[in-house]
Amino acid sequence: MGKICLWGSGLAVIVILLFIMGLLVVRGGGVISWEFLTSAPKGVYLGMEGGIFPAIIGTISLVTIATLTAAIPALLTAIYLVEYGKASPLAHVINFVIQAMIGIPSILIGLFGYVFFVVTLGLGISLLAGGLTLAIMILPTLVVLMRDALQAVNDDYRLLGESLGVSRRYLLQRIILPVASPHLLSSILLAMGYAAGATAPIMVTAAVVMSRGSVSLFNPVMALPFHLYILFSQHISLERAYGTALVLVLILLALNLLSLYLRNRYGKRVAFDD
């Protein structure tokens, strides 16, 4: 009975995903073209014509800044929790804070980013403010994923290194991190997908209704989630909204598939062969 429930749950998830993809393809597949992907929005009501190129560039820029900002602190935190802190009181506090941060609604992170980056630091509604806000949003998720990746490394590596008198730093640099690298990279890709689909944080820190695709750290940018929100909420063009949603979902799906490939293709290095 338990196996039937598990298989049924898995099949239900697949069916729901296929249904969503099918709906997006049927409703929005007709607008996908080279012009749609490479031109800016146009029309009396912006978005009725033209494409989503500035939104794609803006999304990539936001995700890049967020990932570059959050990846190193997340990795250092994960290394401390797994390799140095372990059961220390500070490690318990860090784990508690990280778990609490994961549960914070994204809109609250967006409001914090607005107050701190936009107003207090004077960055204004800009690409930099949005990217830093997204970095805060994905940081706890990255820490958890990277922590799990390091914990998955077989302890025999550590025991063997200690028995040979190898320093912890050398063991970490030459053995642990290289072995865990496929899972660490997979974690970064998953976090990138999380950031790419976020709407609430960028609405108040980075997004603008229209831009020409030029990227500047201190100027606002278009982003796919926000552009999609505008098209739907203002009923400008439901067909183009579905097309935008399809492009966004395909980007997220590509990131997740690449992450899964890295785990399956190179993740076997995490454990010793029997």
Can you give the pTM of this predicted structure?
A: 0.89
Whole-Å CA distances, 149 to 44, 152, 242: 50, 5, 36
Residue range 14-36, pLDDT digits in tens: 888 889 888 888 888 888 888 88
Residue range 85-107, pLDDT digits in tens: 877 888 899 999 998 998 899 99
- DSSP string covering 173-224, please? IIIIHHHHHHHHHHHHHHHHHHHHT--HHHHTTTB-S---S---TTS-B--H
- pLDDT of 225: 92
Residue range 66-93: mean pLDDT, rounded: 91
The single residue listed with the structure tokens 């978005």 is: 47
Q: Does domain 50-268 have CATH number 3.50.50.60?
A: no
- pLDDT of 274: 38
What value does the mean pLDDT of the chain take?
87
Whole-Å CA distances, 50 to 34, 53, 119, 171, 211: 11, 9, 34, 54, 13
Distance, CA of 213 to CA of 236 (rounded, Å): 21
- Residues of the chain with pLDDT > 90: what percent? 42
Q: Where do the structural domains in the chain lie, given as residue ranges?
A: 50-268
- Residues of the chain with pLDDT > 70: what percent? 94
Whole-Å CA distances, 23 to 245, 246, 257: 11, 9, 20
Residue 197 token pair: 């689909």
Whole-Å CA distances, 30 to 41, 72, 242: 17, 41, 10
Distance, CA of 90 to CA of 158 (rounded, Å): 22
The pLDDT confidence band at residue 127, using thresholds 50, 70 and 90, is: very high
How far is it between the farthest Cα atoms of the chain? 73
Residue 13 token pair: 């998830």
Residue range 155-178, pLDDT digits in tens: 777 787 777 777 788 888 888 888
Distance, CA of 11 to CA of 50 (rounded, Å): 38
- pLDDT of 267: 60
The single residue listed with the structure tokens 């603008």 is: 208
- Is residue 269 over pLDDT 80? no
- pLDDT of 271: 45
Distance, CA of 76 to CA of 139 (rounded, Å): 11
The pLDDT confidence band at residue 246, using thresholds 50, 70 and 90, is: very high
- pLDDT of 142: 95
Distance, CA of 245 to CA of 208 (rounded, Å): 18
SS3 of 171, please? helix
- Is residue 235 over pLDDT 60? yes
Centroid of chain to Cα 26: 27
- Is residue 55 over pLDDT 70? yes
- Is residue 197 over pLDDT 60? yes
Residue 221 token pair: 């940018």
